[in-house]
């Protein structure tokens, strides 16, 4: 009797236990994750890779959306081609079928994501997990089908691929012409291969489990789809006992070169999927480890961590072109000059020096091929076609980006190679783009508003910064003649900007500078805009500005404050504004913000509590009325520049209100939930003020020197930043703000590097408990480990 009981117990345990099938999803158990909000399940997500990425909705569906290629920016992309409009799957029992396109929850991981579905009628739960391996033209989608009922089920599982092989935006410029797709089912290998009829563009999908059926089309197919693609489905039938599960992995591969390359990728995914996931998880742990931030404010700490992941999601590798940081998804998956200038400052500060180097090389290559005169491109698609040869600000910003790269990496070889391009760029700015020779290059800057293309504040400011940056590079390379010339020009321009661009009546720098005749049509357009948007306060202000124009002579060139565009804050962002002007302008800037950040165009400000963007998602993409992350981040940097860490933190807190607002773990381009679902330059307004101002890390890797001048917000009594990468050195700093003193615990891996510790406000200073003589503004330390205390009394 006892033996029978033991046997019965074993049988019962086996029937109630889960299957031991191997699951990729098991690898995620110790990884950071954020669950999405149920109200956002019908909004976009991305599964990112540097070669391939997947864009769909958090509910598991793949609706058509996007505007660069209308309704085609979702799906699976292997730039410069698209592979699929997406995929669908279903679970069938008898004649009933449950389509997996209405998930009950969505969870995002740095390296992938999962959707949970539940077929209540049959007690069937399905978990879909997908990730895209590094440097591979493919993806893996894993389905875990669980029978949560008390009876065995006969299951028919179907996976539908919505094939659509088509070229990237501007494909026609490089003779990439879409044609009809052809489908072939290889029964023995149990995979489906699709080919564009006229091009060597391929997509394939299949499983390591033998399919029991193949069909073109499926009950769960999207009703209508544009394009010349075709649907193809594989089905799998199996017996699923009660309280057990079945794992089915689908491998998706692509190639825009050959079927041989396609097959190689497909086999790699099948054979090494586990290893590829482990490698990706480990790499994301390394991303988190570099410039690792620990704060009392865990919300900002989490946002900072995930913005590093977001930046990695936007790495776009196309071997024929290069590797570079793209702007945002879904509509900007290619390369931009200005976007890189902001986002790569964040990348450098957080330790991603490789993407900064690769992006610089790529932008220089595309710019040299397109322009050849030092001008930096604005936007290039992944087939190498350049849409805009460059707005004026981007050339100046690229020069300063080179200096940032040099300061963080010490890579003298690349800077030496590119310095002739710097000289060409300055010649283009000051000779070709400045016909009247007043130091202000003519042409459009960051604001893409009709008429704002003469002398713009951001162009003038970034040109001044570029000259100062070029001077520092020249000095380090031993070119004293160029260093002196560029520094003199920078100093002169700084004085001129403070004198000729400041508008005291508005407590602001001007949007642009010009004559009354040049200002009138711009002001009239602004009046129409304000009236159309029903902004009576802006209309009244603009009419007063109209009266002021009558006080100027017809030939007089003056700064005009009309739109209150965010770029009027660039003199504070770069730190060239006189302190009195800066403080007044920073106070004025507070008029043009809402709880989520700063309006792109100040006259669009709403008098209601929240932005119009928050009230309803717009169906047509527009920046009108937008509150954006970049202007908010610029003001965070600007406030920190002028000793206002509390204000800088306030802007970072505004950014944090948009973090995970729509896509968990990400921040939209337009606050809080519009535009791109993830945007590269978001890291600029968080990482740069925190690392370079709050912790005060200012590197000069080419001199093996790091300046440290912390200015933490008062609410951050304890904070640390570990493994800050400067050249080959790793520096860590923990700060403890006490009533009697501020304590810095500093370590570095290269003991021969010099640390310059700001001691301007200290009454006395101790290093490793020994009194140290105050000398100038900073003390000089060499070694590996220090406890520095700056006493307040």
Check which CATH number belongs to the domain holding 774 and give it.
2.60.40.1180
More confident residue, 177 or 619: 177
Q: What is the pLDDT of residue 657?
A: 97
Q: Is residue 203 part of a domain?
A: yes
- For the segment 556-587, what is each residue's pLDDT rounded down to a tens digit? 899 999 999 999 999 999 999 999 999 999 99
Asked whether residue 231 carries a pLDDT value surpassing 80, the answer given is yes
Asked whether residue 43 carries a pLDDT value surpassing 70, the answer given is yes
Q: What is the pLDDT of residue 609?
A: 53
* 710 and 679 fall within a common domain: no
Decide which of 263, 285, 307 is a domain's last residue: 285
More confident residue, 618 or 196: 196
Q: Is residue 749 part of a domain?
A: yes
How far does Cα 319 stand from its chain's mean position? 21
Going by pLDDT thresholds of 50, 70 and 90, the confidence category of residue 624 is confident
What does pLDDT average to over the chain?
93
* 51 and 173 fall within a common domain: yes
* 54 and 158 fall within a common domain: yes
- For the segment 421-470, what is each residue's pLDDT rounded down to a tens digit? 999 999 999 999 999 999 999 999 999 787 788 899 999 999 999 999 99
Q: Residue 699 and residue 294: Cα distance in Å, rounded? A: 21
Q: Is residue 760 part of a domain?
A: yes
Decide which of 256, 285, 314 is a domain's last residue: 285
* 664 and 707 fall within a common domain: no
* 125 and 223 fall within a common domain: yes
pTM for the model:
0.95
Write down the residue that tokens 């999927």 correspond to. Answer: 273
* 85 and 167 fall within a common domain: yes
* H/E run at residue 45: strand 44-47
pLDDT average, residue stretch 743-750: 98
Q: Could you say which DSSP state residue 565 is in?
A: B
Asked whether residue 664 carries a pLDDT value surpassing 50, the answer given is yes
- For the segment 336-385, what is each residue's pLDDT rounded down to a tens digit? 999 999 999 999 999 999 999 999 999 999 999 999 999 999 999 999 99
* 716 and 591 fall within a common domain: no
Q: Considering only 349-363, 644-658, 727-741, 772-786, which range has the smallest mean pLDDT?
A: 772-786
Q: Is residue 305 part of a domain?
A: no
Q: Is residue 325 part of a domain?
A: no
Q: Is residue 546 part of a domain?
A: yes
Q: What is the pLDDT of residue 738?
A: 95
Q: How many domains does the chain have?
A: 3
Q: Are 188 and 206 in contact (CB under 8 A)?
A: no
Q: What percent of the chain has pLDDT over 70?
A: 95
Asked whether residue 12 carries a pLDDT value surpassing 50, the answer given is no
Decide which of 285, 304, 328 is a domain's last residue: 285
Q: Residue 346 and residue 356: Cα distance in Å, rounded? A: 10
> In terms of residue numbers, what domain contains 721?
695-791
Pairing outcome for strands 705-708 and 754-758: parallel
Q: Which CATH number do you get for residue 139? A: 2.70.98.40
Three-class secondary structure of residue 241 per DSSP:
coil
* 774 and 725 fall within a common domain: yes
Q: Is residue 314 part of a domain?
A: no
Three-class secondary structure of residue 44 per DSSP:
strand
pLDDT average, residue stretch 46-70: 96
Q: Residue 375 and residue 360: Cα distance in Å, rounded? A: 13
Q: Is residue 394 part of a domain?
A: no
Q: What is the pLDDT of residue 620?
A: 60
* 766 and 722 fall within a common domain: yes
Q: Considering only 246-255, 258-267, 269-278, 769-778, which range has the smallest mean pLDDT?
A: 769-778
pLDDT average, residue stretch 783-792: 95
More confident residue, 762 or 645: 645
* 739 and 620 fall within a common domain: no
* 682 and 760 fall within a common domain: no
Q: What is the pLDDT of residue 726?
A: 98
Asked whether residue 17 carries a pLDDT value surpassing 80, the answer given is no
pLDDT average, residue stretch 28-37: 95
* 544 and 571 fall within a common domain: yes
């Amino acid at each position: 009797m006892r033996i029978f009981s033991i046997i019965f117990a074993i049988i019962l345990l086996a029937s109630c236990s889960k299957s031991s099938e191997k699951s990729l999803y098991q690898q995620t158990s110790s990884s950071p994750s954020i669950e999405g909000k149920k109200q956002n399940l019908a909004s976009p997500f991305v599964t990112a890779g540097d070669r391939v990425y997947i864009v769909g909705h958090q509910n598991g569906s793949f609706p058509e959306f996007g505007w660069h290629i209308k309704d085609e920016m979702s799906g699976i992309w292997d730039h410069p081609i698209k592979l699929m409009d997406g995929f669908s799957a279903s679970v069938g029992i008898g004649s009933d079928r449950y389509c997996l396109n209405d998930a009950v929850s969505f969870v995002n991981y740095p390296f992938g994501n999962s959707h949970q579905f539940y077929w209540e009628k049959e007690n069937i739960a399905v978990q879909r997990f997908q990730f895209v391996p590094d440097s591979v033209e493919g993806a893996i989608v894993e389905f875990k089908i669980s029978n949560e009922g008390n009876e065995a089920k006969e299951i028919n599982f179907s996976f539908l691929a919505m094939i659509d092989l088509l070229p990237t935006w501007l494909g026609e410029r490089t003779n990439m012409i879409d044609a009809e797709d052809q489908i072939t089912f290889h029964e023995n290998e149990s995979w489906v291969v699709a080919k564009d009829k006229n091009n060597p563009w391929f997509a394939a999908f299949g499983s390591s489990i033998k399919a029991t059926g193949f069909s073109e089309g499926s009950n769960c197919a999207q009703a209508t789809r544009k394009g010349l693609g075709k649907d193809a489905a594989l089905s799998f039938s199996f017996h699923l006992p009660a309280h057990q599960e079945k794992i089915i992995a689908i491998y998706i591969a692509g190639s825009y070169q050959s079927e041989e390359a396609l097959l190689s990728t497909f086999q790699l995914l099948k054979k090494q999927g586990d290893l590829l996931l482990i490698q990706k998880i480990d790499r994301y742990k390394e991303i988190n480890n570099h410039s690792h931030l620990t704060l009392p404010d865990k919300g900002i700490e989490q946002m900072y961590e995930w913005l590093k992941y977001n930046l990695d999601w936007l790495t776009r590798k196309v071997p024929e072109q290069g590797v570079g940081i793209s702007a945002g998804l879904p509509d900007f998956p290619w390369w931009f000059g200005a976007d890189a200038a902001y986002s790569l400052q964040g990348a450098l500060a957080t330790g991603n020096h490789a993407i900064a180097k690769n992006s610089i090389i790529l932008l220089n290559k595309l710019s040299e091929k397109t322009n050849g005169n030092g001008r930096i491109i604005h936007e290039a698609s992944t087939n190498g076609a350049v849409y805009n040869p460059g707005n004026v600000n981007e050339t100046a910003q690229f020069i300063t980006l080179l200096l940032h790269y040099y300061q963080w990496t010490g890579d003298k070889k690349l800077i030496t190679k590119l310095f002739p391009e710097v000289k060409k760029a300055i010649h283009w700015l000051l000779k070709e783009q400045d016909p009247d020779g007043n130091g202000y290059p003519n042409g459009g800057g960051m604001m893409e508003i009709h008429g704002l293309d003469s002398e713009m504040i951001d162009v003038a400011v970034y040109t001044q910064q570029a000259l100062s940056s070029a001077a520092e590079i020249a000095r380090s390379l031993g070119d004293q003649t160029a260093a002196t010339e560029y520094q003199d020009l920078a100093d002169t321009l700084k004085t001129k900007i403070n004198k000729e661009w400041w508008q005291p009546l508005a407590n602001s720098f001007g949007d642009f500078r010009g004559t009354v005749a040049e200002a009138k049509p711009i002001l009239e357009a602004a009046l129409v805009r304000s009236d159309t948007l029903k902004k009576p306060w802006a209309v009244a202000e603009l009419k007063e500005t109209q009266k002021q124009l009558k006080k100027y002579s017809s030939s007089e060139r003056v700064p005009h404050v009309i739109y209150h565009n965010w770029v009027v804050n660039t003199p504070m962002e770069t730190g060239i504004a006189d302190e009195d002007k800066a403080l007044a302008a920073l106070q004025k800037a507070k008029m043009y913000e809402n709880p989520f950040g700063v309006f792109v165009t100040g006259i669009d400000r709403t008098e209601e509590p929240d932005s119009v963007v928050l009230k309803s998602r717009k169906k047509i993409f527009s920046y009108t009325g937008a509150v954006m992350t970049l202007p908010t981040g610029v003001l965070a940097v600007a406030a920190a520049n002028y000793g206002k860490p509390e204000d800088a933190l306030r802007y970072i807190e505004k950014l944090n209100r948009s973090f995970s607002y729509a896509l968990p773990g990400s921040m939209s381009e337009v606050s809080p939930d519009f535009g791109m679902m993830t945007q590269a330059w978001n890291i600029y307004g968080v990482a740069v003020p925190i690392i370079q101002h709050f912790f005060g890390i200012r590197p000069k890797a080419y001199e093996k020197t790091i300046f440290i001048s912390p200015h933490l917000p008062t609410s951050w009594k304890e904070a640390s930043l570990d493994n800050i990468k400067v050249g080959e050195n790793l520096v860590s700093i923990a700060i403890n703000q006490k009533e009697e003193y501020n304590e810095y615990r500093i370590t570095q891996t290269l003991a021969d590097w010099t640390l310059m510790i700001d001691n301007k406000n200290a009454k006395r200073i101790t290093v490793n408990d020994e009194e140290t003589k105050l000398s100038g503004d900073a003390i000089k330390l060499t070694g590996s480990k220090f406890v520095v205390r700056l006493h307040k009394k």
